Chains A and B, each alone.
Chain A
Amino acid sequence: MSALLEVTGLTAAYGAVRVLHGIDLTVGENEIVAVLGANGAGKTTLLRALSGTVKAGGGVSFAGRSLAGTSAARIARGGLGHVPQGRGTFTGLTVEENIRLGIVSRPAATKGQADGDLDRIYGTFPVLQEMRRRPAGALSGGQQQMLALARALLARPRLLLIDEPSLGLAPLTSADMFSVLARLREEWSLSVLLAEQNARASLKVADRGVVLARGRVVAAAPAAELAADAGLRAAYLGESPDGLTEVAP
């Protein structure tokens, strides 16, 4: 069976500056893949290229269909969700309206399960229920991250791209976030492509890891293997702050 997401030779540039130099990557049905790498390695650009918010070259096939030339909105409607870096909450809308936006964006076939899904969301994130009448802009960073994730989940994607969910969060909040991510797959039957700087925590959650450096894949292996790799740790788990050391795959 072919993978849910197949990326071959993906390139992307901002103006004349090439950011991605031919990325190959697959995400299987019900699989969690972590994309690791230092600042500027191209993680965010990779996710944006996949969701169609950055122009890209190369091949992307999702659920058997090529995404070349497809608009971001159409890609999203096809079941590819994206929780962007900086969360992308609708700050002028209430928490509840943000959540309803997820529900109205889901495929018609899953409309009947909306109430059950909403209960599940409020079970996972009780704070969102408490705050539902507040403007989303008044939430704390951690709460906004939860809201962004909740909204994306309620749209019932088959594959969810999550960009740096722990960025700027306090350590405890960040730990909460990862424990939620670990349960996502069972509860929502989806695949996840998780871009994170926190390699240790994300490799605990993921099945496989892909390491990016300067816009190229420098390592791809099962999560446990990557976590045990001392050379990688030196380069990507913070022991080498410049993060520029290339590691042989």
Chain B
Amino acid sequence: MTEFLQQTVSGLTTGLVYAALALAIALVFQGTGTLNFAQGEFATLAAFVSFALSSAGLSWWLIVPVLVVLSFVFGAGVERLLVRPVEGSGPLALLTVTAALLLGTNAVTALIWGTDVRSMPSPFGDSVYRLGPLTFTAQALGGGALVVLAMLLCGLVFRFTPLGLRLRAVADNPDSAKLLGISTGVMLAVGWGIAAAVGAIAGLVAAPTLGLSPELMTNPLLLALAAATLGGFSSRLGAVVGGLLIGVLSNLASRYVPGIGGDLQLVVPFAVIFLVLLIRPQGLFGRASTVRA
């Protein structure tokens, strides 16, 4: 039983990273209507920047807010300069742009920092805590808390502020939003900015555990896409829950299902998703259209 709990906790810890990245992907999808394949690379870039800042001697208390602001500006800038010009050209053009961004960002990261895997020190130290029979590393606790905080803040902004209301209005019905004087362009850029900031936190938290390299977020990106599919792209909460589920499921499967082990553990969540999509194509939390004629 203890081991089961320990495995679940460990699955939740990795699941939080997927959850944050899935949230970022869902935010962009709701606003712009496209998958941002480069969302993981943005997070990797953010992790490298935080590594550089930390190496330069900055305190983590400073790095986190600086990283959030930089990422916001970066995400909004990418939307404005690279995505907006092809917006009218259809979903395939947008997908192509984000795929190009994936390759481009990856190449730039590799060019600056090299392709070797570096070990990044945990911002939270190396202590280990015990709660009854369970052990927690400081990295797991602190990283988890940071990701949860970022997702909560994001949720609060969307749920309770006029800015969040405008963002959701643009995602729901851009034409009507314009008629209320809302600048849809500004809101889309803000959406990309928030997504990049949430993703940056995911990258920062993932790096000490997974090792810092340009490939840091390659697997997490796939799992985050799966998480968003599982939870429903139209639901921010669904993306988060999907991420946690996938983290836990793949961890438990590799431990308890004979023959799966570490290499095949990725197969499990995708099998689950396949089943979910057969039964609920809109995802667990997604809305099928509720519009009355």
List residues of chain A with CB under 8 Å of any chain B CB.
51-53, 71-74, 76-77, 81-82, 84, 88-93, 97, 100-102, 104-105, 135, 137-141, 151-152, 155
**Contact residue range for chain B?**
20 to 34
- Asked whether, in the complex, the Cβ of B172 is within 8 Å of the Cβ of A74, the reply is no
B292 contact from A84, A97, A105, A138, Cβ within 8 A: A138
8 pairs of residues in contact across A and B, judged by CB atoms under 8 Å: A73-B184, A88-B179, A90-B168, A90-B173, A92-B234, A93-B165, A102-B180, A139-B292
Q: With both chains docked as a complex, state the minimum distance between the C-beta of B168 and any C-beta of chain A, in angstroms.
A: 6
- Asked whether, in the complex, the Cβ of A140 is within 8 Å of the Cβ of B183, the reply is no
List residues of chain B with CB under 8 Å of any chain A CB.
162, 165-166, 168-169, 171-173, 175-184, 234, 287, 289-293
Determine the residue in chain A with the shortest Cβ distance to B186.
A73
How far apart sit A47 and B17, CA to CA, in the bound complex (Å)?
Answer: 48
Given the complex, which residues of A lie within 8 Å of B293, measured CB to CB? 141
| Top 10 A-B residue pairs of the complex, sorted by shortest distance between their CB atoms | A76-B181, A88-B176, A77-B181, A72-B178, A105-B180, A137-B291, A90-B172, A137-B290, A104-B162, A92-B172
Given A91-B290, A155-B180, A104:B168 Cβ within 8 A: no
**How many Cβ-Cβ contacts under 8 Å join chain A to chain B?**
82
Q: With both chains docked as a complex, state the minimum distance between the C-beta of B91 and any C-beta of chain A, in angstroms.
A: 20
B181 contact from A73, A90, A91, A93, Cβ within 8 A: A73
Determine the residue in chain B with the shortest Cβ distance to A168.
B293
How far apart sit A73 and B292, CA to CA, in the bound complex (Å)?
Answer: 28
How far apart sit A72 and B290, CA to CA, in the bound complex (Å)?
Answer: 28
Given the complex, which residues of B lie within 8 Å of A151, measured CB to CB? 180
- Asked whether, in the complex, the Cβ of B179 is within 8 Å of the Cβ of A51, the reply is yes
Given the complex, which residues of B lie within 8 Å of A91, measured CB to CB? 172-173, 290-291
B179 contact from A81, A92, A135, A140, Cβ within 8 A: A81
Given A137-B291, A139-B292, A101:B178 Cβ within 8 A: no
